[in-house]
Chains A and B, each alone.
Chain A
Amino acid sequence: MDSLQVTNSAGDSASAGVARPKKRASLSRDYFAELRGSKKGMTGALILAFMVLVAITAPVIAPHDASSQSVYAQYAPPLFAGGTMDHILGADNLGRDILSRTIYGTQISLSIAFIVIFIAVSVGAVLGAIAGYVGGIVDTVIMRIADFQLSFPFILLALVFMAILGPGYWSLVIALTVAIWANYARLVRGEALKIRELEFVQAAKAIGVSRARIIWGHILPNALPALIVLGTLDIAWVIITEAALSFLGLGIQPPTPSWGVMLNDARGYLYESAWMTIFPGIALFMTCIGVNLLGDWLRDTFDPKMAKL
């Protein structure tokens, strides 16, 4: 992509300067300027930034403790439906403040999403790069493991992990990581197959640079744009799946305020106290919309060829 923006105006002679002097940091600044110019990207970034801010400042901004119950506040309606300022978004069947629980739920959802994506991308990218660059038996072994993993029904996999480790935050992280690392391994393997034939990799090989250095220095950095795009879009998948598993009782356990747990709690009161489902639902929806908008923009920017698909 970068290679297209050649400053051809500069002559070749030794003394001729490069036409457009640029500073080193300008690349990231260019992207930021482009982000600001895109409604889609900016909306997504703002939503995600807001959610991250909420998650970080949860103990400060939440009006109540997430799991403190109050008999007086049971089924308290939200402010716009005749409630009080004490519970702006109402309270649930145990009198717990919905706003506070939704705010703390942001912490759970986002932290799981970021941890899972970070581990899965790191592991998947490194394994994929090794498979793609080294090839041969190494490639076969890694990719068959990935194929095996991808052919395994996810819910079954999650059940197995919950059965072995017991349901909870970290078993959920492990189950989700195991479920998606193979996507990145496949993606990076494909990129590595492409990049390793490029002449700068051939040149590094001709210099005698070691395989590890080529993978680390050339293959992975050049596979990064595709990784960032897929990783960002997958954040939404992780958030929704986390909520789904928690809803089914396979993930975060009550009374910890995960959005999935809240939705499950609210299941029986859908007619009487709809606010119990609406607000965690909106939070879930908004976060995923934000992530997807940002991911779409990243894809358009980093990989214009993929945008047409």
Chain B
Amino acid sequence: MANQLLQVQDLKKYFPAGGTLSGIFGKRRYVHAVDGVSFDIRGGETFGLVGESGCGKSTTGKLILRLIDPSSGNILFGNKDIAKLSGQSLKEMHKRIQIIFQNPYASLDPRWTVQKILTEPLIAHDVVPRSEMKNKVAELLEAVGLDPDYMYRFPHQFSGGQRQRIGLARALAVSPSLLVADEPVSALDVSIQAQILNLMQDLQERLNLSILFISHNLSVVKYLSDRVGVMYLGKLVEVAPVEELFNNPVHPYTQALLSAIPVPSLHVKKQMIQLEGDVPSPVNPPSNCHFRTRCPKFSNICAEVEPVPVRVGEDHVVACHLAQKTTTVDD
């Protein structure tokens, strides 16, 4: 377990639901967006975070960058707790952790030239002296496979994939050691997705970058990730190395999720696990195991006791009572 770059411990984010006045009438209600998530990211690896819409995976990413403030929990990065940083030390942290966003059309200021967009991080962190800015911008553009002459153009003159490359160049301008990629390819064409993913892989090897890859697309996560965490309704239900997770999913939710991946073959007949009902409201999630209302293997203990994460294999952790019963916990 050595070589940990980032350690998230029992991270929680509750958003207040309803207007300012709702607190006066009865108990204040909260959206349990992230409800006690713990995982770690190791140096140089890609950690995939998957789950369906609204499960809190993007919120987790934003919490790590402190774009929103956590309600409780720790985010240990090096010897610092990001959750408690402020002012200058927070700014220093932003030099180590960067983010790229889902929507390449909204992530670049439409009024700024590419040059200005890419100098923003350089100025904010004094990366290079002013006289060398232009060279650095050209260098960054080349690194993401774009022509340096593009620096005089505006974002609207680029395609989605090109914009995502610019966003990547901006994130890498400060030479971070962790990159949070918040659904970076889900807005792109499939052919262009592959290009961006390969670029990210290249850059990761060259810069020894760790990536927190947030996505709802399991095939993309499988392609890119070293380890994968599965989230459901604000909780992390299973974490395992990618091969292990896809070959031997333990949590019933993971099993259902993986069974939903379409297989492009006429001969392979897959048994798809059909979950019943909808995701419950995060304002009032089911007590203890959040998945119990839709779980095909539900038993009474799931409603009574909160499942704690247990180790079921090497590096394979599952938060399910079932796993506890069926698997012997070694070490």
Partner of B90, one of A1, A12, A208: A208
What's the minimum C-beta distance from B153 to chain A, rounded to whole angstroms? 7
Say whether B195 contacts A13, CB under 8 Å: yes
- Contact of A85 with B by CB under 8 A: no
A210 to B123, CA, bound (A): 11
Given that A207-B170, A209-B120 are known contacts, is A200 also in contact with B159, CB under 8 Å in the complex?
no
Report A165-216 residues with CB < 8 Å from chain B CB: 198-200, 202-210, 213
Partner of B101, one of A12, A18, A202: A202
Nearest residue (CB) in A for B92 is A208
Say whether B156 contacts A5, CB under 8 Å: yes
Say whether A202 contacts B67, CB under 8 Å: yes
**Size category, B interface:** 35 or more
Say whether A12 contacts B162, CB under 8 Å: yes
- Contact of B94 with A by CB under 8 A: yes
A203 to B145, CA, bound (A): 21
Interface hub of A18, A217, A221 (most chain B Cβ within 10 A): A18
Given that A24-B113, A207-B124, A209-B124 are known contacts, is A10 also in contact with B98, CB under 8 Å in the complex?
no
- Contact of B248 with A by CB under 8 A: no
- Contact of B108 with A by CB under 8 A: yes
Nearest residue (CB) in A for B154 is A2
Nearest residue (CB) in B for A10 is B159
Partner of B107, one of A22, A200, A221: A200
Partner of B106, one of A5, A18, A20, A199: A199
Report A1-35 residues with CB < 8 Å from chain B CB: 1-8, 10-15, 17-18, 20, 22, 24, 27
Say whether B67 contacts A2, CB under 8 Å: no
Contacting residues, chain A, for B121 (C-beta < 8 A): 207-209
Say whether B155 contacts A3, CB under 8 Å: yes
- Contact of B192 with A by CB under 8 A: yes
Report B14-72 residues with CB < 8 Å from chain A CB: 62, 65, 67
- Contact of B105 with A by CB under 8 A: yes
Contacting residues, chain A, for B106 (C-beta < 8 A): 3, 198-200
Partner of B156, one of A6, A14, A17, A217: A6
Nearest residue (CB) in B for A221 is B111
Report B80-137 residues with CB < 8 Å from chain A CB: 90-91, 94-95, 98-99, 101-103, 105-113, 120-121, 124-125
- Contact of B271 with A by CB under 8 A: no
Given that A2-B110, A200-B109, A207-B98 are known contacts, is A18 also in contact with B124, CB under 8 Å in the complex?
no
Judged by DSSP, the binding face of A is loop
Say whether B99 contacts A203, CB under 8 Å: yes
Given that A199-B101, A207-B94, A208-B95 are known contacts, is A218 also in contact with B109, CB under 8 Å in the complex?
yes
- Contact of A43 with B by CB under 8 A: no
A6 to B62, CA, bound (A): 28
Contacting residues, chain B, for A198 (C-beta < 8 A): 106
Say whether B101 contacts A203, CB under 8 Å: yes
What's the minimum C-beta distance from B58 to chain A, rounded to whole angstroms? 11
Interface hub of A8, A14, A202, A203 (most chain B Cβ within 10 A): A203
A222 to B112, CA, bound (A): 10
Interface hub of A2, A8, A198, A206 (most chain B Cβ within 10 A): A206
What's the minimum C-beta distance from A16 to chain B, rounded to whole angstroms? 9
What's the minimum C-beta distance from B170 to chain A, rounded to whole angstroms? 7
Nearest residue (CB) in B for A9 is B159
Given that A2-B156, A10-B158 are known contacts, is A205 also in contact with B67, CB under 8 Å in the complex?
yes
- Contact of B167 with A by CB under 8 A: yes
A221 to B116, CA, bound (A): 14
A12 to B104, CA, bound (A): 13
Chain B residues at the A interface, C-beta cutoff of 8 Å: 62, 65, 67, 90-91, 94-95, 98-99, 101-103, 105-113, 120-121, 124-125, 145-147, 150, 152-162, 167, 170-171, 174, 191-192, 195
Chain A residues at the B interface, C-beta cutoff of 8 Å: 1-8, 10-15, 17-18, 20, 22, 24, 27, 198-200, 202-210, 213, 217-218, 221-222
Could you list 18 A-B pairs, sorted by A, with CB under 8 Å? A2-B154, A3-B110, A6-B158, A7-B156, A7-B159, A10-B158, A12-B191, A14-B147, A22-B153, A199-B106, A200-B106, A200-B109, A202-B62, A203-B101, A206-B94, A208-B94, A208-B124, A209-B121
Instruction: Give the 7 A-B CB pairs with smallest separation, nearest first.
Output: A12-B161, A208-B94, A14-B145, A199-B107, A208-B91, A2-B110, A199-B101
Q: A3-B106, A6-B156, A207-B124 are in contact. List 5 more A-B contacts (CB 8 A).
A: A2-B111, A2-B156, A204-B120, A205-B67, A217-B109
